Structure 1
Amino acid sequence: MECVITVDGVRKRYWRRGPWVLDGVDLAIEPGVVTVIVAGNGIGKSTLLRIVAGAALPTSGRVIGRPDIVGYVPERAPAAIRMTARQYLTHIGRIRGMAPRDIRNRTDELAERLKLVPGPDVPISSLSKGNGQKVAVMQAFLVEPRLLVVDEPATGLDAPATAELTRLIAEAEHHGAAILMSAHQSAVPAGGRLHRLADGKIVGETGRGMRVVLRATRSGMSTKDFAGRADVLVDEPGQVMLHTDDPDKLLLWALAEGWSLVEAKP
């Protein structure tokens, strides 16, 4: 039986007496569930995901129940690797105990699904940013992960590759993987269990109502106007993402006040 992965009081700062990037994060990541961390830039969501994946250590606190097989897709893939994508993935596959034939077949399958151009047999350093990010996706899915951590899934990928990554994530969810993702603004996926990160802490589960993205149509419009009407997930200049359990009421008010609807998702 798969276990819940528990983030227990995790704190992180990068130098002694420096500010806390994470300041006591508690979180449960359940098998077969997509858990999404929503926050703006510089809030600490990438730091949290690296710690959960085992790619970074917390200053204090711990992650309990992390499985042996972790797939981690970073927000930005390393670009200076001289190996070809196939050589790199062969190295990763060997570390994970895969047979050479299985590595080769899985590499070819993922390269085809993600439309890696010009293919897996050129140096990663010569690939475009988007195709380099596809290699980062491929290494996370070489072996079926029991924990999948994906940082900003749409970053650097074109629309077809983003759609294919969504299918790969859905397959992992179907097979019982615990999935942790970060998202920003309209990249928040439909479904999943959303949590907001603010001031170094998880400030609550947002639930499964409606996520609404609105754009300001004139200067002086403020997200403070939404206080008591909706939960502000992401606040950017000129645009805001909200969570509401009563989207009809919110939209009627927001449109009357001059906000423009960008997107609404369950």
Structure 2
Amino acid sequence: MRFEQVWFRYARRAGWTLRELNATVEPGATVVVLGRNGAGKSTLLQLAAGVLRPGRGVIKDRPAVIGWVPERFPADQPFTAREYLLRMASVRGASPRSVDRWIDRLLLSEHAGTRLAELSKGTAQKVGLAQAVLVPPGLLVLDEPWEGLDSVARTLIPDIVREVTAAGGSVLVSDHRGEITALPGAIHWTVAEGLVDAAAASPAGHEEDEVIVEVAVRRSEADRAMVALRAAGHRVLGVRE
């Protein structure tokens, strides 16, 4: 999938949220999108998923099957968790067996008969994750997928990412927790001031002469610091406040 001179803004006279985005997501790649709140990470992910359309430029070769998990799953719907997943399976041409498999794997069995609106945020988020992978996606887009998840469910996300990429799919994920930034082979994109800095893949593991250093900067300077560190050949393993 290729972003070619992609610009986006939310209103005709508003400032550009993203500018001059030129980047490629190769099959089998994991792209971790970093940046402060409001920098445009969610906008970039929604453009990738086809939820938003560019104001300028084009996105080419988007895979036919896309799994999209927004930061907050829209749970105000008149279905139980299992009813919703069965309906999504029907729309996407998936087997009901796929629904049962993901309900099992994401530990949703005790909530399968609960109405979506009555689920906790974390449980609703697991339903959102399940619907995204009912059919193996060519592109899986995850916007802060850990929000509200319990510790067991959080450990499943890197495994799901690996499965998608091993099958030749691509993954774009925003991650301010640093929970997936160190995944071997992950590519890091940093969004700052409307621009996207696309870094090379991180090497798997640490070399013997590597040293991990924690750097403290002002919040307003964090994005520039990450860009400068990467430009100097350093790896950014995570960002925390």
TM class by smaller structure: 0.7 to 0.9
Pick the structure with greater CA Rg: 1
1:37 correspondence with 2:29: no
Higher strand share: 1
CA distance in 1, matches of 2:15, 2:58: 19
Identify the match of residue 46 of structure 1 among 16, 35, 42: 42
Letter in 2 for 1:200: G
Give the Cα separation in 1 of the matches to 2:135 and 2:198. 32
The equivalent position to 1:153 in structure 2, one of 145, 151, 154, is 145
Q: Report the CA distance between 1:118 and its aligned residue.
A: 2.8
Q: CA deviation at 1:212?
A: 5.9
In structure 1, what is the Cα distance between the partners aligned to 2:138 and 2:212?
31
1:178 aligned residue: 170
- What is the distance in 1 between the residues matched to 2:8 and 2:202? 29
What is the TM-score when the length of structure 1 is the normalising length? 0.76
- The reply to whether residue 8 of structure 1 matches residue 4 of structure 2 is yes
Q: Deviations over 1:57-88 (max 9, x none)?
A: 12121110012110111111112122111121
Give unmatched runs, 5+ long, in structure 1: 235-241, 248-261
CA shift, 1:213, in A, is: 7.7
In structure 2, distance between residues paired with 1:167 and 1:175: 12
The 3 A distance-change label for structure 1 pair 138 and 225 is closer
Percent identity (aligned): 34
Q: Deviations over 1:156-188 (max 9, x none)?
A: 211110111221111111111011111215234
Which amino acid in structure 2 is aligned with residue 232 of structure 1? A
Counterpart in the other structure of 1:97: 93
Aligned with 1:61 (options 57, 60, 67): 57
Amino acid at match of 2:54: P
Change in 2 beyond 3 A, CA 1:223/1:75: closer
Which digits, 9 at most, give the CA deviation of each residue in 1:1-53, with x for residues without a partner? xxxx0011111111111011111211100111101211111001101111111
Paired with 2:192 and 2:112, the residues of 1 have a C-alpha distance of 40
Instruction: Indicate if the aligned counterparts of 1:186 and 1:213 stay in contact, CA closer than 8 A.
Output: no
Within-5 A mapping of 1:222-261: 222=218, 232-233=225-226, 245=233
User: 1:196 is matched with which residue?
Assistant: 190
CA contact (8 A) 1:196 1:206 kept: no
Question: Among residues 118, 126, 132, which one is paired with 2:118 in the alignment?
Answer: 126
Given residue 164 of structure 2, which amino acid in structure 1 is its aligned partner? Answer: A
Tell me, yes or no, if the aligned pair for 1:75 and 1:152 is still in contact at 8 Å. Answer: yes
Contact 1:111 1:120 in 2 (8 A): yes
Mark the runs of 5 or more structure 2 residues left unpaired by the alignment. Answer: none
Distance 1:21 1:80 in 2: 28
TM-score (norm 2): 0.84
